[in-house]
Each structure stands twice: as C-alpha cells, then as structure tokens.
Chains A and B, each alone.
Chain A
C-alpha cells in the first residue's frame, strides 16, 4: 500500500515537473527554474498531503474493520433523513434573503449562476436523459436572446410577450438541428451539433442588416411587472421595470424555480422514461414501442425551450448582446455543469452551476492562475467522483453497486 502510493507520488511529481518547468520556467530571455519549482512545490505539497491522508486512512480502516461510506454520501443521507420540506424551505429562504446581505457584485454572480442553472437543466434533458451529446447547445440560448432583442427593439414587444415566441422559435430551431441528426449517435452527433452551434453564431455575426453583426444589439427593455394604475387618463396598466440587480435576481430566481419544477415533472413522466430508454438502448426502446423519432425531437425542442428562456432573460438583463457571448466555450461550460453535477441529477446540476460559475470568481485573487485552478479542480473532481457531485440514484447504483455484483453464467 505505502510503496504503491509512494510510487504514484514520484510518478506524479515527475509528470508535473515535465509539464510545469517548460511552461513556467522559460521566459523570452531568461531561464528561471525557481518559479517553476515554487509552483511544483505547491503541487507536490498537495500530493504529499493526499499521500499522508491515504496512509492514515488505510491504518484506520484496519482498526475499525468496516468501511465508512464517503463523506458526501453521509451528508446526503443526513439531508435525506431531514424532512424534505424543511430542506427545500430553508434553501428557498436562503435564496430569497440572499440579496439583502450580498453586495451588487455577488448578486450579479448569483444571477449568472441561476441563468446557468436553467441552461444546465435544459441540456440535461438532451444529454442526461436522452443521451444525445449536444455540443452546440448555446445556439438555442443565442436564439432566445436575439429573438427577444429583435422583437423588443423593432416592435417594442415586452419581455413576457416575447418569451413564448422565443420558446417557440427555440423549439423550431431545436427540431431543425434535431431532425438531420436523428440517425446519428455519439461522436458524429457531437461534431454535427458543434458545427450547428458555430453556424448560428456565424450567422448572427454576419447578418449585419438584421443582427448588427459583431456590434451587437443594445437598448433592450428590462422585464417589467405590471400593476393597475389610476392616473390622469383613468384605469390603465403601469409598468415597473426590473432595473435593479435584486429585482432581476428575483426574476431569474422565479424562472429557475419554474424550470426546476418543469424538469422534475418531465423526469418522472412517461416521456422521461422513454428518453432514458432511448439513452440506454435505442433499438430496444424502438422495439418496446417508443416512437423514437418524436421522442428525440421532443428532447431537442424542450431542451432548446429552456435555453431560449434563459437567453431572453440574459438579453433583457444586460440590455446588450453580441455574437461573442455565444462562443463554443459556453456550450462546453454548460456541458461541464451537467457532467460535474451528475448526469441526470437535478440537485447535482444546480450545485454544479453554482460551483462552476462562482469558482472562477472566487479564484479571481489568483489572477493569472485562475483558470489553472479551475481546470485542476475539474480534473480532480472527475477522477475522484466520476459520477458527479450529487449523482442521480441511477448512476450511483451503476458505478458503485455494479462492481459488487459479479454476473455468473
């Protein structure tokens, strides 16, 4: 055990040295191995710590005999034992009073997190439930954003009226990309969807007369609340525009909660089961009488609908959009949220959205090393918890129980 771990330590150290010394050591004029070694030292310290923890743990294991379940699972069990309504109520209350304690910067990060919660949950339908790897998901976000912006700027359509139109358009675009890819699977599907995402962005970038190209669109109205007013000219509706950050925060919070409810319902529905069946085995699903064509198109359309809503809100919040908000990188981040959270797991995705969006902000203090730390965390997570932060019960069974049950025959 100890020898094995020591060996690992040496190999890791060597690997890191190869990686870091050329990267950090060479400057254009001088060779400064000191810098590299400093960083290497930090990494090695972490690895040594890990080594010590493992050794100590293995000692303990021998003493106790029985293995304790990992910490996250124990926490999960605690939470499960706690009455659900209190947990949910507590979380909701925390989310509700958050803007009262947070400064504008934190609220802004919170809003971004909630937008990504919506995106993650929407992509979860396509990737997590239906098993279709979509790398161009951000295109639907762009469709929602541009639909609202253009409707609002050209015709003065209000946010809430534009929302259903954006959803419909998002679903149509979802079906347009979905239809030609119906027969594709895996890598091919990923490449085609990625291409589609880029096509949408390039169209937005180059269709100057409609989208103003790279200059982007600006001046969209914020979402508004309407209340009856009895001003000079009698009864009418007055609009209260949600301009302040806390107001926008509550707006996206409401949208996110609605999304969570909708996705939960879908997850437990007949359609949800059909999606999972397709993910598991498409031929078998077809033979069980699942109309695979329609069910897959529906997954694309509904996933696109949620992204479209998030996109419309994004455009309304910022009052400015341009095609560079919808880069391939964004699709990747949303996919990371789904995978990191635990494919198919709603609470996991919510947590992951907060972790992934907030983490780069937290690491701002690290300056240039911000993304390095971010990447490091992602990699470590995938190694130690491949099933995600809060795995869906199905995945957890697959990855852990599966090892214990050896098939006979």
Chain B
C-alpha cells in the first residue's frame, strides 16, 4: 500500500475507566479519504476507542495523531475545532430541540453563517426527510430519523474525519441500508470515515480497511474485502 500520510493514527493507546483497563494498546492508522471500520462484540472497547480519540475519555498512555498533530491531550472542543466530528452511540440527539436547532448545534464552533446555510442545505439533500421535520422536536422523530439527524449534526461542523458510533443500532434493515448508502455518499464528498459497528457484514462491505477488536485489543487488521473472506471473522461476526 502506498499510503499518503494517514489522517488519523493511533499508536499503543491505553485507556482506563477507574481500575478497568478498557483499551490495552490500540494501534491503527486511517488513510485520508478512506472508510475504515472497527468491528467487535459488545464491550470490546469500540466506543471507548472513539471516545478516546475525541478526548472525552483521556488516554493514559500512547499517541493519537490527527493529520500528524498529536491530539491525545486536547479537550473535546479542541479536537472538534481541528475537524473531527462524532455521532454518539444510541442516537444521542438533543430531544427537546427542533431538528433545525439540533443541526445548528452541530455548527456550534463555526461563525461563517452563509457557509453554515450551505452545509445545512447539503445535509437536507442527503436526508430530505429532515427538511420536512425541520420544526419538529428531536425526541419525537423516529429512530431512523434520529440517526440521520445525529449524522447530519456531526456533518454541520464540516469535518474532515467523521467518527460514527454504531449508526445501525436498533434500526430496521431497510433503514440500515439507507444509512450506509448515505455514509458512502458522504465519503465520496471527501470526508474520511471511521465506523464502529456490530453489523460486521454491512460495515465491511462499504469499508476499505477493517479492524477487528476483542477485549480491548485489535486482533486483526486487513483490507475489509479480505476480512469478509477470513474464516475467523466469518465464524465470529458474520454468522456463516
């Protein structure tokens, strides 16, 4: 692989929740423009990895670099300002704000009003249903709409790297397909995507690189297409 400089690089990252050693030395690198996915079972540390990248959880050891710049000591708002964006697990939108207000919150760090308007229009073109729901409170949207809103909100900061935490969680299969199609579309517009998923099949299908995580460690790294054929992955995550 002749990689350009990776947009995100983790080397030997450790994270603790109190005494619990959640990440035990994670290393990975995500090439610019790629879709990378991290698959694994419940409690493997997938969400923790994203939270550590974003600085919500502090890494106790190791290095995290975004575009070559170390970010492991930065607070979340600083990481966001650099061009990283994340959708939280379980569609955590602001339930008592309207769809429009939710999207506005996504652009919280930006001040360029006309550009924000453009991005809002882009989000509405990706998810036309959100435009119809513009004045509706976030909490009254359906599950799929909430997930769209969470992704839309994350895009409103105009990120270079988008971290998605289980976008398929609790959605109907049809809706999952729609969300993944949109993820591909977002990627085509130039946003690098790091996807955390339990739905391994879907995630590996759209990804370039895949990582498999087990109890705080990355146990397999390969091209996603190769992982789809890997016996171990097939057995454990694809149910074949």
In the complex, which residues of chain A have a beta carbon less than 8 angstroms from the beta carbon of B92?
281, 283-284
Is the pair B95, A286 in contact by a Cβ cutoff of 8 Å? no
Name B94's contact: one of A284, A397, A405, A409 (CB within 8 Å).
A284
Is the pair B96, A289 in contact by a Cβ cutoff of 8 Å? no
Kindly supply a per-residue 1/0 record for chain A positions 277-303, scoring 1 wherever the CB is within 8 Å of any chain B CB and 0 otherwise.
Answer: 100110111111111110000000000
Contacts A283-B88, A287-B56; A407 near B93 (Cβ below 8 A) = no
Contacts A280-B97, A405-B140, A407-B143; A289 near B77 (Cβ below 8 A) = yes
Q: Whole-angstrom distance between the alpha carbons of A281 and B89 in the complex?
A: 12
In the complex, which residues of chain B have a beta carbon less than 8 angstroms from the beta carbon of A409?
142-145, 171-172, 175
Interface members, chain A 344-398 (any B CB < 8 Å): 394-395, 397-398
B145 to chain A, nearest CB (A): 7
In the complex, what residue of chain B is closest to A279 when comparing beta carbons?
B96
B11 to chain A, nearest CB (A): 24
A269 to chain B, nearest CB (A): 12
B211 to chain A, nearest CB (A): 21
In the complex, what residue of chain A is closest to B172 when comparing beta carbons?
A409
Kindly supply a per-residue 1/0 record for chain A positions 64-86, scoring 1 wherever the CB is within 8 Å of any chain B CB and 0 otherwise.
Answer: 00000000000000000000000
B141 to chain A, nearest CB (A): 7
In the complex, which residues of chain A have a beta carbon less than 8 angstroms from the beta carbon of B86?
287
Contacts A289-B81, A394-B96, A405-B140; A283 near B108 (Cβ below 8 A) = no
In the complex, which residues of chain A have a beta carbon less than 8 angstroms from the beta carbon of B54?
287
B196 to chain A, nearest CB (A): 14
Contacts A407-B140, A409-B143, A409-B144; A290 near B77 (Cβ below 8 A) = yes
In the complex, which residues of chain B have a beta carbon less than 8 angstroms from the beta carbon of A284?
88, 92-94
In the complex, which residues of chain A have a beta carbon less than 8 angstroms from the beta carbon of B108?
270, 273-274, 277, 288-290
In the complex, which residues of chain A have a beta carbon less than 8 angstroms from the beta carbon of B96?
276, 280, 394-395, 397-398
Is the pair B80, A287 in contact by a Cβ cutoff of 8 Å? yes
B169 to chain A, nearest CB (A): 13
A285 to chain B, nearest CB (A): 7
In the complex, what residue of chain A is closest to B157 when comparing beta carbons?
A289
In the complex, which residues of chain B have a beta carbon less than 8 angstroms from the beta carbon of A287?
54, 56, 76, 80, 85-88, 154
B75 proximal to A (CB < 8 A): yes
Classify the interface of chain A: helix, strand, loop or mixed. Answer: helix
Residue in A284, A285, A288, A409 with the greatest tally of chain B CB atoms within 10 Å: A288
Is the pair A401, B105 in contact by a Cβ cutoff of 8 Å? no
In the complex, which residues of chain A have a beta carbon less than 8 angstroms from the beta carbon of B215?
none
Q: Whole-angstrom distance between the alpha carbons of A408 and B141 in the complex?
A: 8
In the complex, which residues of chain A have a beta carbon less than 8 angstroms from the beta carbon of B75?
291, 293
Contacts A401-B137, A409-B172; A273 near B144 (Cβ below 8 A) = no
In the complex, which residues of chain B have a beta carbon less than 8 angstroms from the beta carbon of A394?
96-97
Is the pair B137, A397 in contact by a Cβ cutoff of 8 Å? yes
Residue in A277, A284, A287, A289 with the greatest tally of chain B CB atoms within 10 Å: A287
In the complex, which residues of chain B have a beta carbon less than 8 angstroms from the beta carbon of A283?
56, 88, 92
A402 proximal to B (CB < 8 A): yes
A158 to chain B, nearest CB (A): 41
Name B97's contact: one of A276, A292, A395, A401 (CB within 8 Å).
A276
B40 proximal to A (CB < 8 A): no
B32 proximal to A (CB < 8 A): no
B109 proximal to A (CB < 8 A): yes
In the complex, which residues of chain A have a beta carbon less than 8 angstroms from the beta carbon of B153?
288
In the complex, which residues of chain B have a beta carbon less than 8 angstroms from the beta carbon of A280?
94-97
Q: Whole-angstrom distance between the alpha carbons of A271 and B139 in the complex?
A: 22
In the complex, which residues of chain B have a beta carbon less than 8 angstroms from the beta carbon of A270?
108
B136 proximal to A (CB < 8 A): yes
In the complex, what residue of chain B is closest to A290 when comparing beta carbons?
B108
Is the pair B157, A288 in contact by a Cβ cutoff of 8 Å? yes
B210 proximal to A (CB < 8 A): no
A299 to chain B, nearest CB (A): 16
Q: Whole-angstrom distance between the alpha carbons of A286 and B153 in the complex?
A: 13
Contacts A273-B104, A409-B172; A281 near B94 (Cβ below 8 A) = yes
In the complex, which residues of chain B have a beta carbon less than 8 angstroms from the beta carbon of A401?
137, 140
Q: Whole-angstrom distance between the alpha carbons of A395 and B105 in the complex?
A: 19
In the complex, which residues of chain A have a beta carbon less than 8 angstroms from the beta carbon of B93?
281, 284
Contacts A274-B108, A394-B96, A402-B139; A286 near B76 (Cβ below 8 A) = yes
Q: Whole-angstrom distance between the alpha carbons of A293 and B68 in the complex?
A: 27
Instruction: List chain B positions with a Cβ less than 8 A from chain A.
Output: 54, 56, 75-77, 80-81, 85-88, 92-97, 101, 104-106, 108-109, 136-137, 139-145, 153-154, 157, 171-172, 175
5 closest A-B pairs by beta carbon, nearest first, are: A289-B80, A409-B142, A280-B94, A289-B109, A405-B140
Query: 8 A-B Cβ contacts within 8 A?
Result: A281-B92, A285-B105, A286-B56, A288-B153, A290-B108, A293-B75, A397-B137, A402-B139
